[in-house]
Amino acid sequence: EAGVTQFPSHSVIEKGQTVTLRCDPISGHDNLYWYRRVMGKEIKFLLHFVKESKQDESGMPNNRFLAERTGGTYSTLKVQPAELEDSGVYFCASSQDVASGRIEQYFGPGTRLTVT
Amino acid sequence: GDSVTQMEGPVTLSEEAFLTINCTYTATGYPSLFWYVQYPGEGLQLLLKATKADDKGSNKGFEATYRKETTSFHLEKGSVQVSDSAVYFCALNTDKLIFGTGTRLQVFP
């Protein structure tokens, strides 16, 4: 079974540019999460999809961040325009539906974003 | 709000030493508790979990017991190896994961 994949693994962009991160969850997982770790700090929740619907987007820092999950499969996270403080590692995770009782979240390798 | 506090690192040990990484939490309700590990150059991996009070999670020689009375979930291993060098994250789950800041473990031969 393939794990959670993320693309790209690294991205270096200039302040003001746009970047789009992609996450492909484990097949069949309804829940998809985005997290971010800013250098040296804790990993923080950004948002949670259940299938194609946003269940919780309370962690999104501001309206420069836009997440989508069309068709309930892969998800994209767009940052536009990027600022220096957006630098960090962006993790995606997925889990099966709550009804199954399998609550473990499986993480992708992360995308390291550097804004210069 | 809900939060996780874990000991700051780095923790530096010699091979075969005993490991403890402390983790305490604050939460309303009864969250599930997890330890995740990130090896160099890799993503986060679930190491172990416990879903209710007094549960003990274990994997790869690591153990942690969900202690409701002390709101703790300390990670232990009796004899660490060089290959255990990584960053360890304690987390609680209330629909979303809330993480501690991570503790870097360095094991030397």
Write out pLDDT tens, residues B35-71: 999 998 888 999 999 999 999 999 999 999 999 999 9
How much is the pLDDT for A99? Answer: 62
User: Is residue B8 scored above 90 in pLDDT?
Assistant: no
Q: Chain B residue closest to A104 (CA)?
A: B46
Percent of chain B residues topping a pLDDT of 70: 100
Instruction: Indicate which of B32, B44, B101 best probes the interface with A, i.e. most A CBs within 10 Å of its own CB.
Output: B44
Is the distance from CB of B37 to CB of B12 less than 8 angstroms?
A: no
Q: Which long-range contacts (CB under 8 A, 24 or more apart) does A42-50 make?
A: A42/B4, A42/B99, A42/B100, A42/B101, A42/B102, A43/A91, A43/B44, A43/B89, A43/B91, A43/B97, A43/B99, A43/B102, A44/B99, A45/B96, A45/B97, A45/B98, A46/A77, A46/A90, A48/B95, A48/B96, A49/A75, A50/A97
CB contact under 8 A, A43 and B97: yes
Of A42, A55, A104, the CB nearest to B102: A42
How much is the pLDDT for A70? Answer: 85
Amino acid at A57: E
Write out pLDDT tens, residues A32-88: 999 999 987 889 999 999 999 999 999 999 999 999 998 889 999 999 999 999 999
pLDDT grade, residue B94 (50/70/90)? confident
